[in-house]
Amino acid sequence: KAGVTQTPRYLIKTRGQQVTLSCSPISGHRSVSWYQQTPGQGLQFLFEYFSETQRNKGNFPGRFSGRQFSNSRSEMNVSTLELGDSALYLCASSLEGRSGYTFGSGTRLTVV
Amino acid sequence: AQKVTQAQTEISVVEKEDVTLDCVYETRDTTYYLFWYKQPPSGELVFLIRRNSFDEQNEISGRYSWNFQKSTSSFNFTITASQVVDSAVYFCALSEENSGYALNFGKGTSLLVTP
């Protein structure tokens, strides 16, 4: 059974640009969550989508948004990039949130 | 306020030593879940264990064991006879009903096992 796939693995963007990250969950999993990992703040929850609806949201500015498609694939978008957005972005899929999460390898975003 | 505290930032042991990673959590929910994840240098978070708040039974899986004590709000993780491949950052996480079951991670403990 294929794991959680995130693309791309690495990304370099310039301040002010926008970026879209993609996540394909494990087949059959309807919940997709996104986390940001930085050396200073650690791992922080961004948002969760379940059956194409945002079900839960962390404490991030509106520049961070996401969506989920009917096949459960999810995208995360960050607009007007700032240097502080440089991080490892991890996607996690789950059958149902509380049942446990399987993470992808992440997308490492560098903003210059 | 930090809901999950991993007081040990870095631990270094020699191969075959036993090592315990501490995790203390804070919650007012009666229904919650606790997790341990391992993050090797590749970056992927690898699931190790999940425990719910109603199950205080300790668990052993091979060289890994977990001690969950609600009385002290702790969920400690022990690796017996450590190996070099155990070197990684280990995260403890709390998932609460009140927070929609989002994972609230500790800061992690970096474990280095040397030959």
pLDDT of residue B56: 80
pLDDT of residue A100: 82
Find chain B residues with C-beta within 8 A of A42's C-beta: 105-108
Across all residues in chain B, what is the average pLDDT? Answer: 93
Find chain A residues with C-beta within 8 A of B44's C-beta: 103-106
Q: Taking the alpha carbons of B105, A41, A103, A53 in that order, is the dihedral positive or negative?
A: positive
pLDDT of residue B1: 62
Tokens standing for residue B11: 């631990």
Pairing of the two strands A87-94 and A102-103: antiparallel
User: Distance from A2 to chain B by nearest Cα, in Å?
Assistant: 15
pLDDT digits (tens, 9 = 90+) for B74-89: 999 999 999 999 999 9
Cis ω before A8 (30° cut-off from 0) = yes
Virtual CA dihedral for B84, B89, B95, B100, nearest 10 degrees? -130
Cβ pairs A/B, distance under 8 A: 57
Find chain A residues with C-beta within 8 A of B104's C-beta: 45
**Mean of pLDDT values over B97-115:** 94
pLDDT at A38 over 80: yes
Give the C-alpha distances (Å, rounded to integers) separating B31 from A100, B6, B27, B50, B69: 14, 21, 9, 13, 15
Q: CA B75, CA B58: separation in Å to the nearest integer?
A: 10
Q: Per-residue DSSP letters for B4-72? A: EE---SEEEEETT--EEE--EE----SSEEEEEEEE-TT-PPEEEEEEETT----EEETTEEEEEEGGG
Find chain B residues with C-beta within 8 A of A101's C-beta: 35, 47, 103
**Mean of pLDDT values over A27-45:** 95
pLDDT digits (tens, 9 = 90+) for B19-48: 999 999 999 999 999 999 999 988 899 999
pLDDT of residue A1: 60
pLDDT digits (tens, 9 = 90+) for A63-108: 999 999 999 999 999 999 999 999 999 999 998 766 789 999 999 9
The single-letter code of the amino acid at B21 is L
Q: Is B3 helix (H, G, I), strand (E, B) or coil?
A: coil
Closest in B37, B44, B91 to A105, CB measured: B44
User: Distance from A67 to chain B by nearest Cα, in Å?
Assistant: 17
pLDDT digits (tens, 9 = 90+) for B10-21: 999 999 999 999
User: Distance from B59 to chain A by nearest Cα, in Å?
Assistant: 17
Cα B58 from chain centroid (whole Å)? 13
